[in-house]
């Protein structure tokens, strides 16, 4: 699988940052418009929480603004917020979006994941 990955600063991929594919970015933009999330103030929040089949679950939602200690990434006109605790598990991750006959949704390609379950939203680090 070949992915064209966008980095916040449009440089070569970094192992310590969050990356988003153009396909995922397009889907995020569309959903932000549908949900009336302002690209200037709001953005996509990526995080992890305890639970799920494998111990940790991915959490993805819109937020109206970043929190005080968040890392804020800018991908063209989309901002992504990651809290410090989640960043430990998400650094180097690629967020992709796939749409096939069998599955439609975001795909977390995470080098920090040691095992994951079939649902694709739970992992162990």
- The structural domains of the chain, with segments of one domain joined by +, span 19-124
Exposure letters 99-124 (e unless 16+ CB within 10 A, then b): eeeeeeebbbebeebeebeeeebbbe
pLDDT (tens digit per residue) in 39-61: 899 999 999 987 655 578 889 99
pTM here is: 0.78
Least confident of 13-17, 55-59, 103-107: 13-17
19-124 is classed CATH 3.40.50.300 = no
């Amino acid at each position: 699988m070949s992915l064209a990955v966008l980095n916040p600063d449009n440089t070569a991929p970094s192992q310590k940052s969050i990356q988003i594919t153009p396909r995922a970015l397009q889907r995020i933009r569309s959903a932000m418009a549908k949900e009336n999330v302002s690209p200037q103030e709001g953005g996509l929040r990526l995080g992890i929480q305890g639970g799920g089949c494998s111990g940790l679950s991915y959490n993805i939602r819109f937020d109206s603004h970043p929190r005080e200690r968040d890392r804020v990434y800018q991908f063209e006109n989309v901002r992504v917020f990651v809290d410090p605790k989640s960043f430990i598990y998400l650094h180097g991750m690629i967020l992709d979006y796939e749409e096939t006959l069998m599955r439609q949704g975001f795909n977390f390609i995470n080098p920090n994941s040691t095992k994951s379950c079939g649902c694709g939203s739970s992992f162990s680090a």
